[in-house]
Structure 1
């Protein structure tokens, strides 16, 4: 199996190192000091499950790799439309693209039975720009439950979780999913093949759609948001509205709001990825988390006043932040 990891940051390098340990031919695509460190010393993973070092190939030139069986996308979703130069040299007719993203994916309605089959979600696939680079038929969805951070160039700190759920947009259990799942398991990770990955997408989105924008707007950790009575209620309201939108597009996630809140509280004083991006001056990944659900609400005539209000102020924050760092 030949795998290229495009965007080998904390999650991408962790997956690449694990697959390499399992015997796959892995190529990490990165840049800067992180790339230099991985070339010199490999990927060092520090984990409560045991530290290890892997030495997969690392480069900033996808053309030097050639076509692969799987492209694992470790990029933020707001980079997908511009990733053609990185991805195109890696493709052959059968290459699968595994998109490890938060939020609503560009392929969401691809081959999904029902009234909205083939519907394009403009907020995550504007003008079809993402589909043009990453055709939905290549896509394998991936919901990441692992938490990692880049402690230093070439050094990944694995904090918790090893689950990477994957699934086909058409809800089949394909050979390409089963083969990738087996390689991930051989590398020490959990990788269940879910016939209905959309259920996992909405379960994880319940937290991302609420805690991420609120944390960026308030500069608060997840525990602080939970402990404050009014923001806690705000999160619960956003989750309720999100579940209603999910139901209107045919998905009823098998989890209660109470359980989801309890899980968030257990995370403790953790800064969401959106807050971390804000503090680092990076673009905020809010379209797939919040704008897409507001768009789906409009598509299905679902009232979501709280989601719309939070989206308005979060979108303004994203725009003003973008202008100040450009």
Structure 2
């Protein structure tokens, strides 16, 4: 199995190192000091489950790699439309793209069935720009439940979680999903193939759609947001509105809002990825988290006044950050 990790940051390098340990032919695409360190020393993984080093090929030029069986996409979703020159050299006719993104994916309605079959979500696939680069037929969904961070160039700190749930848009148990899952498990990770992966997408989104924008607006950690009564109530309302949109699309995730809040509180003083991006002056990945659900509320007729309010304010913050 030949795998390219496009965007070998904290999550991508962690997955690449695990797959390399399983015997896969792994190639990491990165840049800057992180790339230089991986070229010289490999990927060093520091984990409560045991430290290890994976010495695998790393490059900034996908043309050095050539076509692969799987591309693990570790880029932020707001980079997808522009990744054409990077991903094109990696593709052959049956290359699968494992899209490890937060939020609503561009392929959501591909082979979904029902009245919205094939609908394009403008906020995540503006003008079809993402679908033009990443054909939905290549997509395998992936919901990441692992937490990692780059402790330094070439050094990944694994904090918690090892589950990477994957699934086909058409809900089938495909051979490509089975092969990728087997390799991930051999590398020490959990990788269940979920026919109803959209349920996992909504469960994770419950946290991302609320905690991520609020953390950026309030400059607050997970624990601080959960313990502040008014903010906790706003987050609860946002989660309930999100579940109502999911239900209107025929998806009812098996989780309660209170349970989701309790889990978030246990995380402690963690800064969300959106807050970290804000602090580093990076673009805020809010379209797939928040704008997409507001758009889905429009097509389903579900009232989401609190989501709309937080989206309006956080969108202004995102525009100011990008300026």
Q: TM-score range by the shorter chain?
A: over 0.9
2:298 match = 298
1:7 match = 7
2:308 match = 308
> What's the secondary structure of 1:38's corresponding residue?
helix
1:55 match = 55
Q: How does 1:81-230 map to 2 (within 5 A)?
A: 81-230=81-230
Question: What value does the CA root-mean-square deviation take over the aligned residues?
Answer: 0.3
What TM-score results when the alignment is normalised by the length of structure 2?
A: 1.00
CA shift, 1:245, in A, is 0.3
1:237 match = 237
Q: Distance in 2 between matches of 1:31 and 1:17?
A: 17
CA shift, 1:113, in A, is 1.1
Q: Distance in 2 between matches of 1:85 and 1:154?
A: 24
Q: Distance in 2 between matches of 1:188 and 1:272?
A: 26
CA shift, 1:258, in A, is 1.0
Q: Distance in 2 between matches of 1:108 and 1:7?
A: 22
Cα-to-partner distance string for 1:35-79 (whole Å, 9 max, x where unaligned): 000000000000000000001100001001000000000000000
1:74 match = 74
2:19 match = 19
2:43 match = 43
CA shift, 1:317, in A, is 0.2
Cα-to-partner distance string for 1:195-240 (whole Å, 9 max, x where unaligned): 0100000000000000000000000001000000000000000000
CA shift, 1:121, in A, is 0.1
How many aligned residue pairs are there? 323
1:257 match = 257
What TM-score results when the alignment is normalised by the length of structure 1?
A: 0.99
CA shift, 1:308, in A, is 0.0
Q: Distance in 1 between matches of 2:111 and 2:211?
A: 31
Cα-to-partner distance string for 1:165-208 (whole Å, 9 max, x where unaligned): 00000000100000000000000000000001000000000000
Q: Within the alignment, does 1:274 sit opposite 2:271 as a pair? A: no
Q: Distance in 2 between matches of 1:321 and 1:53?
A: 36
Cα-to-partner distance string for 1:262-304 (whole Å, 9 max, x where unaligned): 1101111000000000000000000000000000000001100
Unaligned regions of 5+ residues in structure 1, if any? none
Unaligned regions of 5+ residues in structure 2, if any? none
Cα-to-partner distance string for 1:133-152 (whole Å, 9 max, x where unaligned): 00000000000000000000
> What's the secondary structure of 2:172's corresponding residue?
coil
1:321 match = 321
Find runs of 4+ consecutive structure 1 residues off by over 6 angstroms: none
Q: Distance in 1 between matches of 2:29 and 2:137?
A: 23
Q: Distance in 1 between matches of 2:214 and 2:128?
A: 29
Cα-to-partner distance string for 1:114-157 (whole Å, 9 max, x where unaligned): 11000000000000000000000000000000000000000000
